[in-house]
Amino acid sequence: MTPKLFHIFRNTPLGRETLLQSLYFCRSIGCLPEIYIPESTRFLMYFENDVTQVDLDGSYLTAPSTSRGHAEALVLESGLKATYLTPKNYTAHGLPDIPTHYDYMCCPRSISDLSSKIGLGHIGPRVRRIVQAARFPVLITSPVFKAWNSITIFFGGSQNALNALRLGLRIARQSGKPLNMFTQIEKGDAETYRKAVADADLLSDWERYGAEWQFFEKGSLEENLYAVAHDALLVLGAYGHGLIKDIMFGSKMERIQSTLPNNLLIAGPKYTAVKG
Amino acid sequence: MKLWRYPANWHLFRYDDRLLLICMAVVVGICAGLAAIALNRALVSVLGLLHHYRHLWWAFIMPAAGAALSSLFLEKIVNEGAGHGVPEVIYSVSRYGGLIRLRSSFSRLISSCLTIGSGGSAGPEAPVVMSGSAIGSNIARLFNLNDRQRVTLVGCGTAGAIGAIFNAPIAGMVFTMEVILGEWSAVNIIPIAIAAVTGTKVSRLLQGNNIAFSHREFQIALGDIAACVGLAICCAAVSIILTRSLRGMSRRVAVLRLPLWLKAAMGGAIVGLIGIGLPDVLGEGYHTIQHAITGDFRAGLLVATTVLAMKIVATAFTLGWGGSGGIFAPSLFIGSFVGLAYQRALTHLWPTVGWVEEGCFALLGMAGIISGILQAPLTGIFLIVEITGGYDVIVPLTIVAAVSSTACQYVEPASFYLKDLVDKGQLLRPGTDARVLADIRMGELLETDCIPVSPGMRLGEFIPILERSHRNLFPVEDGKNGRFLGIVHLDDVRPYLFKTPLYDAVVLGQLMQTQVETVGPDDDLIDVLDKMDALKKFSLPVVANQRFVGMISKATLLDRYRRELMVQTRTT
Amino acid sequence: MKLSIQQVADALDLPVETVERWVRQGRIPFQRQQDEIHFRLGVLERWAVQHKLPFHLTSERPDPKEICQPGSIHEALQRGGFYYDIEGSDTESVLQSAVRRLRDLELSTQNRTLLLARLLEREAMASTGVGKGVAIPHPRIPLEKAVPCPTICTFFLKHAAPYQAIDDKPVFILFLLLSPSTSAHLHCLSRLAFCVRDDAFVSFLRSRPAPETLLARVAAFEEQLDAPN
């Protein structure tokens, strides 16, 4: 079955950029966008062992009379076919349940804080919660639409990085775009990381689709991130540690996303890589 | 992996989760009990604080301000909808294995405290139920328990909360089983009973073992028992009036285009105005109930009836206009006054008969209204028995509860809590047809062994495919873009099957049915079945994004349905 | 014994999605190790009995009929062997000398007699001469434990003999078909019939080809049959 990407449409110029990004992603890997035009600022997503209430900021409800038309025009331009989601179930009045069986979901960096407040350095708490609980990877877009022409995987050797690698390989296979890998060496040497990939039985796939694997031993992560192509889609895994740890030490996801303005595809801890 | 978050993996609990559930039930019971006590204490102090201002002329502002604040709190700060929350708990139990947001565990406590404390006519029980169940659900989530265990813990939270707030463990247990879970199973009963007892114990430790409405023993004669039937009918009628006025009010207010907090404030102001004339209707009204039971409510029949009517109006204005709280306490209040008024009317009509005191009828009336509104007779009986501390009225109590809930069921087939869910078809009680169908996903039923053919295929080429296939349906797909065009049924081909000269002359495009009803892979099974029944089909093609995905058939469905039912119902 | 989710789904004859959902809903006993889920055989069997669900591990039920797939007939031909210059002037005498010549099959004298009786019984019902000089004699009911896999023995007659075939032509070749089950029998019969329908093949048979060339020809036919569409 064709994979589906879930997109919440915001009827503002920023929302237009986000939708353009989603549509570009869909066209690149051949998936089908499912667009939700919110009717209230809140909705619930029931995941396997979690329920998340997403509180959208008020700009999502801008000019409800034109939003469907705007979305359709953008979809038509992209030449894709899109489906539009009408919620079937409501937990309470004005509180629809949004299904969670999608293959991807697109979020701007924040969906609950006012969009004017966000520059680069912050992923909103709701987006973070979705990443933590979802079985699908989340596409976090850059503020302005930018086509990506290559894929860069951040590989840190953990179980989740392997999931990100699987995801990156899949995107590379489906989009036919060049694939690179970025590793900031923290322990051992390049061989340790190669072995981790080989142990997961992914080395042959990497050799088939991957182009370049950059290792950085010196310098801080932020310095080295300049080496990442400006038009690359970043694929990374998010590790599911607690909020306190994030605030105290800052997660690597946070450091990467606050440095690089690129589009990110984040595989959360619950993401299960689909074989094939 | 942090081991402490996966207690189901500990060696102690590995083979049987009953012990695990019992341990968790104690924790949930304590937390739910504490939540109930917190609300109770907060209410007492807010009421005490505002008591001095009650006699002032502007006192009617207070319920307005309280309701507006509670509405603002729910809408702006915690961003939850209004309402008392019990239908939400039942909904999440039936559809999502009891997943409830963390914020629900405190939001209703604060908002209902504002509403009731300031004088709004509502009860603190439903908010406490919501809190207790949200606590149970989130504890289950923290420990990564599965849906079944989570539902049990949600029940534990409810039972603990009701047990604590009424000092009535059995009522907590029965309410959970009868209203929230809708299922009596051995696996659930034990943890829920333990949680109810734990919650009650917490409340007794902190507040002392008080019987809410203590009274003298009543001497009930045979004539009184006969009179109960009449009381039950009255209770049923009042229950229906209360239900209808609450729902009608909400519907009418929903149409108004005003900010939510303003609506709540307007409702509150009206309640406040009523409260100037009849202060008894304000708040949860337990003091007045106590007076009715002990016979200290001196005013006559007419006043009693007015209080009764005004309480209904006040409750409708508080809850219907956006205040936060439940209908449990108002129901008890109204019930006690129905009983009171009934007894006085009886004494007027037959002054020579020695009727039992009005307190007894007040008790019976409470049971009658609770069982009528909730359509849960056992909850009514046990609640009244426990909060009044005696079994001496059990015989008339049972009669009133049974008759009242039956009579209500005739007029309103679904109870107050369930009406919305039933209307939307969302009430999925365990082991029922709707539940089984809601659980099975379309993806689990797809039959993918159909061989697709193209419209340009000659009959001769089709024959070997027919030989290989196990099925008599063949989806026709466009050769170029894979689009689903129609279906070739064996019956369509049969007339030409043995006419060899036609093998090269006929193509499948000529034989296929193009007007085919299809279903999508995300459709609800219940709709798919309805469609099959309406079309008198035994199978339908599933099409997603104009591509054929598989077939869905009643034969497979029945097989899976039966197994699902066996797995769902025979869990021991 | 530990089972994976796939094994459990197979044993219950349900899709994996259903078992995954049961795991999520807590309807099936399982254990979690790291992020892997596994099941214990004993616990699961007890659970299945409790709920009256059918539960059969696939490796637990080696079906004797499944061991030998009714695959290609050129393998069956190879198994059966080739016999030339069979004597005989009518159905009975031809079959008698054919059965007597069977050497590769481990048939006891008693079984041989039984086989012959069965073959004659079948011929008495209706001739197995399918036309064009070909006959496919076979027992009506599969012989108990006679052969583990479908076997076809090929007999070229010394002289074409009358056989009451449907087209009344004398028969010059016999394919003796022995199978362990009726389904295997029908499978081989339909494939053999497919070959024999071809006139070129029949005239090729008349040339009494050597076993290797015959097998190659049949294998080619079967490739054609197995090819999709």
- What would the pLDDT profile of B234-281 be if each residue is shown by its tens digit? 999 999 999 999 989 888 888 888 888 888 899 899 988 888 888 888
CA distance C17 to chain B (A): 6
Is residue C162 within 8 A of residue C170, CB to CB? The reply is yes
* Cβ under 8 Å to B: A residues 59-118: 81, 83, 88-95, 97, 99, 101
List of chain C residues whose C-beta atoms are within 8 Å of the C-beta of residue B145 = 26
Chain length of chain A: 276
Cβ–Cβ contact B478 with C under 8 A: no
Answer yes or no: do C101 and C210 share one domain. yes
* pLDDT for the residue numbered B296: 81
Tell me the C-alpha distance between B34 and B206, whole Å. Answer: 9
Cβ–Cβ contact A44 with B under 8 A: yes
Tell me the C-alpha distance between B471 and B552, whole Å. Answer: 12
Per the model's pLDDT, the better-predicted residue between A119 and B546 turns out to be B546
Answer yes or no: do C118 and C20 share one domain. no
Q: What is the pLDDT of residues C72-85, one digit of tens each?
A: 777 888 877 888 88
Answer yes or no: do B248 and B143 share one domain. no
Asked whether the predicted pLDDT for residue B551 surpasses 80, the reply is yes
* B445 in any annotated domain: yes
* pLDDT for the residue numbered A275: 43
How many A-B residue pairs are in contact by the CB < 8 A criterion?
A: 53
* B213 in any annotated domain: no
Count CA atoms closer than 13 A to B81's CA, side-chain side: 20
Residues of C classed as catalytic? 138
8 Å CB contact of B441 and C17:
yes
* pLDDT for the residue numbered A112: 62
Answer yes or no: do C51 and C157 share one domain. no
* pLDDT for the residue numbered C41: 87
Which CATH fold topology does A4-140 show? Rossmann fold (3.40.50)
Q: How many domains does chain B have?
A: 3
Helix/strand/coil (H/E/C) assignment for every residue in B180-243? HHCCCCHHHHHHHHHHHHHHHHHHHHHHCCCCCCCCCCCCCCHHHHHHHHHHHHHHHHHHHHHH
Q: What is the pLDDT of residues A129-181, one digit of tens each?
A: 788 888 889 898 888 888 899 999 888 877 778 888 889 998 988 888 899 98
List of chain B residues whose C-beta atoms are within 8 Å of the C-beta of residue A49 = 99, 141, 144
Q: What is the mean pLDDT of chain A?
A: 82
Answer yes or no: do B480 and B538 share one domain. yes
* pLDDT for the residue numbered B153: 94
A4, A51, A270: best mutation site toward chain B, by most B Cβ within 10 Å? A51
> A136: phi > 0 → left, psi -120 to 50 → alpha, else beta; which?
beta
CA distance C16 to chain B (A): 8
Considering the domain A150-262 in this protein, what is its CATH number?
3.40.50.620
Chains in contact with A, counting 3 or more C-beta pairs less than 8 Å apart as contact: B
Provide mean pLDDT across the span B407-433: 84
Cβ–Cβ contact C28 with B under 8 A: yes
Tell me the C-alpha distance between B135 and B127, whole Å. Answer: 12
Residue of chain A nearest B547, judged by CA positions: A1
* pLDDT for the residue numbered C65: 44
8 Å CB contact of B572 and C33:
no
Provide mean pLDDT across the span C117-139: 84
* B522 in any annotated domain: yes
CA distance C5 to chain B (A): 15
Cβ–Cβ contact A55 with B under 8 A: yes
Cβ–Cβ contact C33 with B under 8 A: yes
Is residue A88 within 8 A of residue B527, CB to CB? The reply is no
Beta bridge partners of A45: A52, A98
Q: What is the pLDDT of residues C2-26, one digit of tens each?
A: 888 888 888 888 888 898 888 888 8
Tell me the C-alpha distance between B289 and B295, whole Å. Answer: 10
Instruction: Count, in order, helices (H) and strands (E) of chain B.
Output: 23, 4
CA distance B324 to chain C (A): 33
* Residue whose structure tokens are 């809903």: C25
Task: Report angle CA C221, C227, C229 to the nearest 5 degrees.
Answer: 115
User: CA A187 → CA A160, A184, A217, A250, B200, distances in Å?
Assistant: 17, 9, 9, 19, 55
* pLDDT for the residue numbered C69: 55
8 Å CB contact of B571 and C33:
no
Cβ–Cβ contact B523 with C under 8 A: no
Residue of chain B nearest C40, judged by CA positions: B15
Domain coverage including residue C8: 2-61
A43, A48, A49: best mutation site toward chain B, by most B Cβ within 10 Å? A49
CA distance C31 to chain B (A): 7
Q: The domain spanning residue B26 has which CATH number?
A: 1.10.3080.10
List of chain C residues whose C-beta atoms are within 8 Å of the C-beta of residue B6 = 32
8 Å CB contact of A88 and B79:
no
Answer yes or no: do C30 and C118 share one domain. no
Return all residues near B454 (Cβ < 8 A) that are at least 6 apart: B476, B477, B478, B479, B508
- Provide the b/e sequence for C6-40 (b: ≥16 CB within 10 Å): ebbbbbbebbebbbbbbbebbbbbbeeeeeeeebb
**Domain layout of chain A by residue ranges:** 4-140, 150-262
List of chain A residues whose C-beta atoms are within 8 Å of the C-beta of residue B87 = 92
Instruction: Estimate the share of chain B in helix, then strand, then coil, as percent rounded to the nearest 5.
Output: 65, 5, 25
8 Å CB contact of B465 and C26:
no
Listed ranges B87-91, B431-435, C67-71, C168-172; the one with the highest mean pLDDT: B87-91
Answer yes or no: do B395 and B488 share one domain. no
8 Å CB contact of C26 and B146:
yes
Q: What is the mean pLDDT of chain C?
A: 80
The residue from C61, C91, C112 where one domain ends is C61
> Could you give the strand order of the β-sheet that contains C82-86, starting from the edge strand earlier in sequence?
C82-86, C151-161, C171-178, C134-135, C129-131
8 Å CB contact of B95 and A89:
yes
Answer yes or no: do B74 and B197 share one domain. yes
8 Å CB contact of A94 and B83:
no
* B475 in any annotated domain: yes
A48, A91, A244: best mutation site toward chain B, by most B Cβ within 10 Å? A91
**What DSSP element (H or E) covers C151?**
strand C151-161
Answer yes or no: do C71 and C18 share one domain. no
Beta bridge partners of C156: C173
Is residue B228 within 8 A of residue B396, CB to CB? The reply is yes
Q: Provide the token pair at A254.
A: 């946070």
List of chain C residues whose C-beta atoms are within 8 Å of the C-beta of residue B560 = 14, 18
Answer yes or no: do C16 and C123 share one domain. no
* pLDDT for the residue numbered C40: 86
Tell me the C-alpha distance between A218 and A215, whole Å. Answer: 9
DSSP for C76-138? HHHHH-EEEEE--SSHHHHHHHHHHH--SS---HHHHHHHHHHHHHHHHHS--EEETTEE---
* pLDDT for the residue numbered C67: 46
Asked whether the predicted pLDDT for residue B572 surpasses 60, the reply is no
Provide mean pLDDT across the span B356-368: 87
Cβ–Cβ contact A158 with B under 8 A: no
Where residue A239 falls among pLDDT bands split at 50, 70, 90? low
Answer yes or no: do B454 and B399 share one domain. no
Cβ–Cβ contact A42 with B under 8 A: yes
Is residue A100 within 8 A of residue A135, CB to CB? The reply is yes
Question: CA nearest C27: which of B141, B191, B567?
Answer: B567
Chains in contact with C, counting 3 or more C-beta pairs less than 8 Å apart as contact: B
Answer yes or no: do C46 and C108 share one domain. no
Cα dihedral: B539, B544, B548, B549 (round 10): -70
Answer yes or no: do C39 and C56 share one domain. yes
Instruction: Count, in order, helices (H) and strands (E) of chain C.
Output: 10, 8
Q: How many domains does chain C have?
A: 2
Cβ–Cβ contact B549 with C under 8 A: no
Handedness of CA C102, C106, C111, C114 (dihedral sign): negative
* pLDDT for the residue numbered C66: 46
* pLDDT for the residue numbered C46: 87
CA distance B501 to chain A (A): 39
* pLDDT for the residue numbered A246: 52
8 Å CB contact of B97 and C28:
no
Answer yes or no: do C98 and C19 share one domain. no
8 Å CB contact of A53 and B103:
yes
Cβ–Cβ contact C37 with B under 8 A: no
User: Which of B97, B443, B563 is nearest residue C25 as measured by Cβ atoms?
Assistant: B97
Answer yes or no: do B414 and B490 share one domain. no
List of chain B residues whose C-beta atoms are within 8 Å of the C-beta of residue C21 = 439, 441, 444
Cβ–Cβ contact B460 with C under 8 A: no
Where residue C227 falls among pLDDT bands split at 50, 70, 90? low
Q: Provide the token pair at B512.
A: 């296929």
Listed ranges B6-15, B402-411, C79-88; the one with the highest mean pLDDT: B402-411
Answer yes or no: do C93 and C72 share one domain. yes
Q: Which ipTM did the prediction report?
A: 0.83
Answer yes or no: do B244 and B139 share one domain. no
8 Å CB contact of C52 and B145:
no
Answer yes or no: do C40 and C70 share one domain. no
Per the model's pLDDT, the better-predicted residue between B22 and A93 turns out to be B22
Encoded amino acid at C183, one letter = S
User: Which of A2, A81, A89 is nearest residue B426 as measured by Cβ atoms?
Assistant: A89
8 Å CB contact of C17 and B572:
no
* Residue whose structure tokens are 């949200």: B134
8 Å CB contact of B465 and C52:
no
Domain coverage including residue B453: 437-569
Lowest mean pLDDT among B108-112, B203-207, B421-425: B421-425
Answer yes or no: do B236 and B382 share one domain. yes
Q: The domain spanning residue B562 has which CATH number?
A: 3.10.580.10
CA distance C10 to chain B (A): 14
Q: What is the mean pLDDT of chain B?
A: 86
Answer yes or no: do B18 and B99 share one domain. yes
Provide mean pLDDT across the span B1-15: 68
Coil, helix or strand at residue C209: coil
As a whole-number percent, the residues of chain B with pLDDT over 90 amount to 26
8 Å CB contact of A90 and B424:
yes
Tell me the C-alpha distance between A24 and A147, whole Å. Answer: 7
Encoded amino acid at B306, one letter = T
List of chain B residues whose C-beta atoms are within 8 Å of the C-beta of residue C15 = 443-444
8 Å CB contact of A53 and B424:
no
* Cβ under 8 Å to C: B residues 346-405: none
8 Å CB contact of B88 and A99:
no
Answer yes or no: do B375 and B449 share one domain. no
* pLDDT for the residue numbered C113: 80
Neighbours of C219 (CB within 10 A): 16
List of chain C residues whose C-beta atoms are within 8 Å of the C-beta of residue B461 = 229
Answer yes or no: do C8 and C97 share one domain. no
